[in-house]
Amino acid sequence: MIRRDVLKSLVALAAVPTAALAAEPGLQLGGESTPFDADTVKNRARALAAKAYVPRPEIPESWRNLTYDQYRKIWFDGRNALWEGTDAPQRVDVFPPGLYFPQAVGMHVVEGGMARKVGFDMGVFDTTDKFPDVEIDETLGYSGLRLRAELEQSGIFQEYAVFQGASYFRGIGTGEIYGLSARGLALNTGDPAGEEFPDFTAFWLERPKAGSDMITLHALLDSPSCTGAYRFDITHGTVLQMKVSATVFAREDMSHVGIAPLTSMFLFDDTMRQRFSDFRPAVHDSDGLLIHNGAGEVIWRPLSNPTSLQISAFGDNNPRGFGLLQRKRQFSDFNDLEALYHNRPAVWITPGEDWGPGSVTLVEIPADLEIYDNIVSYWRPSGGIKAGAEHSMSYTLHWGADPVAATADVPVKVLNTAIGGRPEGGQIVAIDFGPSERVPDDLGEIEIILRTTKGSVTPGIVQMNPETKGPRLAFTFDPGEDVYAEFRAQLRIGGEPLSEVWLYRWTQP
């Protein structure tokens, strides 16, 4: 999915000076009030799943044909935000339809157990004189929403989450900028027949209580293969927390289902500098997949930008957590004054109950530009979901610089992986681990576990890195005639884990 320019434009539009207010400013609630409770969206999704899939109507062609530059000429006036001028602790903005968003999303506000629809109003947007004339009809609606709250200063409402496009949503901890995205559900990711993208077709926002830093959002999901009812309890902060509870209703057999999917971008780092001529040492939103599996192992898998599609499945039973992380947090790690990749969030997912057997799946797609999201991770339950079945699950997403509390019992984390060729042949692999009081003064006490499925490796050596103040494991790898190899490495003391398990898939450049 191409979304780099869209994200940049949305951030820029938030800072554009607003024009005069409409005669009746603010998002308007219309239609009759209808009862709403915890089962409303679930009952609607269940009834919808019993019928054949019917796509939503598209908005007028004049909106769908907007160019990227034209779409930038319309933006939401923040003074028209939902709950503006009230004691509600949150503000909600909406996004215009058009361009990449050819179908409207229903929006509703819930208060006192009753729901009312947010009607489409062209007056909540500002435009320049370069915005073209567009048709207004009953198919129009908003394409998504943005949440804002007083994050750092009283009276200043800053954004912290966005829901827009298919079932995509993004979040940030206070002070961060947007990076990777999450989705409600992934179907057939990486399959030759093509991926199916379910849509959030309607949202219900519960009015938050005065003084609360939490807001509840309900979403209805629809797709040819299934429907779904989602509840998000979202709490902003240095680490943004999203508690998700969902029930999926299968219209068809779904053999390849992705639960809690994450989508990110990885172009290059110190493992593949020879493929990219760039002034920056690295370019990525995330640099690794972290897994805390049901057996108690903590696994770090550095991400890669392969030359061909790569799909990795890490079999497990009742995983304790997984996520895509951005461990490089210094400006010098990227040297990018515009993208500020060091300030992108990591996302850690904790299941709310036993998920049973399945696999954490990682999809790595070749990419030559940083505008492409080419990394996907998700939980794939064994057996999929059968037609007519209801599949309920819950999990929590933590968005922030270092949201992973589950690995506190394994203090030595992988900080960086670097790979480069030797003049005499072979590859040097250097793995830097973080500092820890558990690292002994005598590095000879550290046991090295190092294995490869292909080629050959030299015995690893451990040295102290004065920059990171942690140990570095280095070894030489000779692939011979092999075009790929799987590595596994770990530092131990007395047979017990000192570090995370480092897994890596090497492929011939």
Closest CA to 268 of 217, 358, 336, 318: 336
Closest CA to 140 of 223, 82, 25, 58: 58
Residues 6 or more apart from 231 whose CB is under 8 A from it?
Answer: 38, 41, 216, 217, 218, 219, 244, 245, 246
Q: What is the Cα–Cα distance from 10 to 254, expressed in whole angstroms? A: 35
User: What is the predicted pLDDT for the residue at 5?
Assistant: 43
* CA triple 174-178-181, angle to 5 deg: 120
Q: What is the Cα–Cα distance from 81 to 95, expressed in whole angstroms? A: 11
The conformational region for residue 43 under phi > 0 = left, psi -120 to 50 = alpha, else beta, is alpha
Q: Do residues 220 and 229 make contact, with C-beta atoms less than 8 angstroms apart?
A: yes
Q: Do residues 147 and 90 make contact, with C-beta atoms less than 8 angstroms apart?
A: yes
Q: Do residues 237 and 173 make contact, with C-beta atoms less than 8 angstroms apart?
A: yes
User: What is the predicted pLDDT for the residue at 28?
Assistant: 87
Q: What is the Cα–Cα distance from 466 to 469, expressed in whole angstroms? A: 5
Closest CA to 502 of 290, 327, 348: 290
Q: Do residues 81 and 136 make contact, with C-beta atoms less than 8 angstroms apart?
A: no
Q: What is the Cα–Cα distance from 293 to 408, expressed in whole angstroms? A: 14
Closest CA to 252 of 187, 205, 166: 187
User: What is the predicted pLDDT for the residue at 397?
Assistant: 97
> For residues 261-285, b (16+ Cβ closer than 10 Å) or e, as one string?
bbbbbbbbbbbbeeeeeeeeebbbb
User: What is the predicted pLDDT for the residue at 421?
Assistant: 86
Q: What is the Cα–Cα distance from 125 to 497, expressed in whole angstroms? A: 56
User: What is the predicted pLDDT for the residue at 21?
Assistant: 33
Q: What is the Cα–Cα distance from 349 to 342, expressed in whole angstroms? A: 21
DSSP letter for each residue of 271-288: T-GGG---SSS-EES--E
Q: Is the pTM of this model over 0.85?
A: yes
In the numeric block, which tokens belong to residue 346? 């990591």
Residues 6 or more apart from 19 whose CB is under 8 A from it?
Answer: 77, 126
The per-residue pLDDT string of the chain (509 residues; one tens digit each, 9 = 90 and over) reads 444 444 444 433 433 333 333 345 689 898 899 999 999 999 999 999 999 999 999 999 999 999 999 999 999 999 999 999 999 999 999 999 999 999 999 999 999 999 999 999 999 999 999 999 999 999 999 999 999 999 999 999 999 999 999 999 999 999 999 999 999 999 999 988 899 999 999 999 999 999 999 999 999 999 999 999 999 999 999 999 999 999 999 999 999 999 999 999 999 999 988 889 999 999 999 999 999 999 999 999 999 999 999 999 999 999 999 999 999 999 999 999 999 999 999 999 999 999 999 999 999 999 999 999 999 999 999 999 999 999 999 999 999 998 875 555 667 999 999 999 888 888 999 999 999 999 999 999 999 999 999 999 999 999 999 999 999 999 999 998 888 899 999 999 999 999 999 999 998 87
How many CB atoms are closer than 10 A to CB 235? 15
